[in-house]
Amino acid sequence: MIGIQNLTKISDHEWEIPQSFRQDMRVPVHIFATQRLLEQVMDDKSLEQAVNAATLPGLVGKVVVMPDMHQGYGFPIGAVVATSFPQGVVSPGGVGYDINCGIRLLASDIEYEAAIPHLDTLATLLNKYCPSGVGQEGVLRVNIPELERVLREGSRWALRNGYATEADLSRTEEGGCLEGANPAKVSERAKKRGQSQLGSLGAGNHFIEVDVVDEIFAEQAATVMGLRPGCLALQIHCGSRGLGHQVCTDYVQELQAAVRRYGIVLPDRELVCAPMDSPEGQAYLGAMRAAANFAFANRQLLAHSARRAFEEIFAGRLKGWELRQVYDIAHNMGNVETHEIDGQRMKVCVHRKGATRAFGPGSPGLPPEYQSTGQPVLVPGSMGTASWVLAGTEMSMQRSFGSSCHGAGRVMSRSKAKHEIRGEALRRELEQGGIKVRAGSMSGLAEEAPRAYKDVDEVVETVTAAGIARKVARLRPVVVVKG
């Protein structure tokens, strides 16, 4: 067990596990956290998993861990790991089971006070038009050839079929489509699971949330993003549903043989991986990118459904009801990017698992309007707490592979939350706090109770104090829809 005594304190918000901590480590582990946030993970395996991740072949720089860290599969959730391209490895556990789980934020000019009489109806319509729940079918069922087009094209497919605008794609990470997606490397089982789930939330921590822009911290950036104080915004949190989960399951199994074939020694079989330039590595990358494109299209369809709800309720009643996209960003992804590491520009595969890309001003790939502000970083909290809009910084490019935190981070297991928290009581508590709630099950609601998570404000204070992101706006929930 790794304790705080094994860490080197750099500042109140940064710590390091030196490479000398264990003989098989190839790089050190750099942690962004306060001591209190660190103490909250001492009972799980987060730090041990980070040290294990530091043994992978082809690692460069450092293993970076965000303040919302908690135990995951192989890698801790909140980890950022970069491997040299193309000889370094790619690891499904470094991306996660919900490939391209991410957040989409849309903004409006609807004043909250004017919207209050309509929020209950809005909650009902969002719940109706945006299906949620375990195994729930989506708003669209496609045949396998059409699904394969979705896997290749992502949000471009949605644009071509009338579910998106050019502005939506411009304000989506990678334009909503990862090049190199290969539907042929996605199993038939994965495709069967995905073909009926386009336009659905799923369950767990996925949600649709209507928020009020509660406070602005950077006026110029907020103006560029279209965030107005006192107005409604909408967040969508979901990923690649059963398709992405099956892709990860398939390759975690298939790459076990690759580890032996290439003589890779791992301290934990959950770190299973393959060289990127190997047939196995190429197959996983092609399938992972296809699943990521499914997720981009999925969130785009949910945004289309949410716009339908807003139009039905507010058009003709209130001005400024149109939902315009602020940004859509992944927090479970493996991207090939170029970064400066130890003074050299290098092409690397950045695994972000429970971490958000946070590119600074002037970074390639950002839409023109965000070149001066840095990329929007979307950090949802938990039901009943704040969410944050941040912006990437030049410091994040230098210190964290252009990455920041992705949320509050769990501090209580799902089983413990269900044991200690009653869903009906939580629903009453939220409703009394002015939050309209629609949930598929009370046990599912209990799993996602605010006290099952860390303090999102402290997480955000940590990354902003460390300089890898800056505050733009704070959001307050008024409607929550969960599976």
Q: Render pLDDT for 194-249 as a digit per residue (tens, 0 to 9).
A: 999 999 999 888 999 999 999 999 999 999 999 999 999 999 999 999 999 999 99
Mean pLDDT of 441-449: 86
Task: State the Cα–Cα distance between residues 195 and 138, nearest whole angstrom.
Answer: 9
| pLDDT score at 261 | 96
pLDDT grade for 451, boundaries at 50, 70 and 90: confident
Mean pLDDT of 368-397: 96
Identify whether 368 is part of a domain.
yes
Identify whether 444 is part of a domain.
no
Task: State the Cα–Cα distance between residues 62 and 129, nearest whole angstrom.
Answer: 44
SS3 content of the chain, % helix, strand, coil (to 5): 40, 25, 35
Identify whether 242 is part of a domain.
yes
Identify whether 404 is part of a domain.
yes
Residues assigned a catalytic role: 406
Maximal C-alpha separation, the chain = 67
The SS3 assignment for 413 reads coil
| pLDDT score at 12 | 97
The single-letter DSSP state of residue 140 is B
Q: What DSSP assignment string belongs to 443-464?
A: HHHHHT-GGGB--HHHHHHHHH
Q: How many domains does one find in the chain?
A: 1
Mean pLDDT of 363-376: 96
Rounded to the nearest integer, the mean pLDDT of the chain is: 95
Domain that holds residue 36: 4-411+453-482
Task: State the Cα–Cα distance between residues 14 and 54, nearest whole angstrom.
Answer: 18
pLDDT grade for 134, boundaries at 50, 70 and 90: confident
* Whether the predicted pLDDT of 133 surpasses 80: no
The CATH number that applies at residue 367 is 3.90.1860.10
Task: State the Cα–Cα distance between residues 461 and 211, nearest whole angstrom.
Answer: 20
| pLDDT score at 421 | 85
| pLDDT score at 204 | 86
Q: Render pLDDT for 283-313 as a digit per residue (tens, 0 to 9).
A: 999 999 999 999 999 999 999 999 999 999 9
Please answer whether residues 94 and 351 qualify as being in contact, where contact means their C-beta atoms are separated by less than 8 angstroms: yes
Show the tokens assigned to 191: 């495709």
Mean pLDDT of 25-54: 96
How remote is the C-alpha of 122 from its chain's centroid?
25
Whose tokens are 């089983």? That residue is 415
Identify whether 72 is part of a domain.
yes
Q: Render pLDDT for 57-84 as a digit per residue (tens, 0 to 9).
A: 999 999 999 999 999 999 999 999 999 9
Q: Render pLDDT for 258-275 as a digit per residue (tens, 0 to 9).
A: 999 999 999 999 999 999
**Where is 51: in which H helix or E strand?**
helix 46-53
Tell me the torsion sign for CA atoms 333, 337, 340, 342.
positive
Q: What DSSP assignment string belongs to 306-354?
A: HHHHHHHHHTTTSTT---EEEEEEESEEEEEEEEEETTEEEEEEEEEES
Identify whether 112 is part of a domain.
yes
Identify whether 446 is part of a domain.
no
Q: Is 0.85 surpassed by the pTM of this model?
A: yes
Identify whether 428 is part of a domain.
no
